Amino acid sequence: MNATRRLHDLGQSLWLDNMTRTLLRTGTLERYIRDLDVTGLTSNPTIFDHAIAHGDDYDAAIRAKATAGLPGEALFFELALEDLVAAADLFRPIHEASGGVDGWVSLEVPPALADDAAGTLEAARQLHERARRPNLFIKIPGTRAGLGAIEEAIFAGVPVNVTLLFSSGQYLAAAQAFLRGIERRIAAGRDPAVASVASLFVSRWDVAVRDRVPGRLRNRLGIAVAMRVYKAYHELLASPRWRSLAAAGARVQRLLWASTGTKDPQAPDTLYVEALAAPDTINTMPENTLLAFADHGTVRETLRADGGDADAVLAEFSRLGVAEESLAADLQRQGAEAFGKSWDGLMARIAAKRDVRSAGSPRGWHPPRP
């Protein structure tokens, strides 16, 4: 039994943090589903930018859609939805067999909308309607403006992957937005079973403090933060508020570990996957991390619901001047900015492939064609 099967049997979902047309056309994604127990997929602007830049799989489609008159953003979302709808169909049997718990794919709203709650909500609704698939999450960042959009999207019945979460405080704020949306649906007589996941980014913590901590604390901060969030997750699920919603038919907002590829070349390439093994969670990992874990990963221990030694480890970082919530705010802002830059690069790359000679295209939201 390989390591991916052991994680699957433990109750953790393994998702692929990648999306390319090559994965679909070569049958590679089907093989990962069959042989490596991959049960879902996430994408983001950086992933699509890399896929379009490093190959010609999208060139003919870009030219054809440009000839049809599609502007840059609408053109991109048609490309992305073609890929993700095909991927969603591959995962559909898993989605149905799990009762809608697993088998999801994710598509992100334009990063330029990070501070625009109304625009984010409109984009989320349009993309979800356009896909016409029950197993497509719309990714919305857990920023201040994003929280309002998350609540409204859940109330509207749009499944949401809350992205760019970095701390227990940010996680709980996103969870509260989800709960408010569900409570409003119940009050309005609507079905409360709207799916959501909350994505905590892990490895970026260790990159941020790499040069500020002694060797014994190297690559320990992200895992400690994740352990604290896991404790908060269990405390929320044990609360009377959640139990009341669950009794009414609400679904758990599952906790997802994101950014789990190892950034330190001196650390094991399976570091975060092995450390974050936990039932009823999701780990979305880059393709090279998935293959490394399948080849030589191990499953030794699972996370403790009480957070284990997270508080003690985080106290050590605090004594070194690492303020968790302050750094979490910085990481969230930097993450949003990075996705924005990737989005700008993606739009410019599409423009170049359309033989458009301008430096780029506007970042405002334009819905895909119906």
Q: Which residues contact 176 (CB under 8 A, 6 or more apart)?
A: none
In tens, the pLDDT along 183-224 reads: 999 999 999 999 999 999 999 999 999 999 999 999 999 999
Q: How much is the pLDDT for 119? A: 95
pTM score, whole prediction: 0.93
Which residue out of 65, 139, 231, 353 is catalytically annotated? 139
Is the pLDDT at 358 greater than 80? The verdict is: no
Active site residue 139: yes
117 contacts 148 by C-beta, under 8 angstroms? yes
Domains of the chain in start order, with CATH, are 3-353 (3.20.20.70)
Residue of 354 and 262 predicted with greater confidence:
262
Mean pLDDT of 114-118: 91
Percent share of the chain, pLDDT over 70: 95
In tens, the pLDDT along 313-342 reads: 999 999 999 999 999 999 999 999 999 999
Confidence of residue 114 (pLDDT cuts 50, 70, 90): confident
Q: How much is the pLDDT for 360? A: 39
Residue of 20 and 2 predicted with greater confidence:
20
In tens, the pLDDT along 135-152 reads: 999 999 999 999 999 999
Cα–Cα dist 9/22, whole Å: 29
Nearest Cα to Cα of residue 196 among 131, 144, 128: 128
Nearest Cα to Cα of residue 270 among 233, 219, 321, 313: 219
> Among 72-81, 283-292, 324-333, 361-370, where is mean pLDDT lowest?
361-370
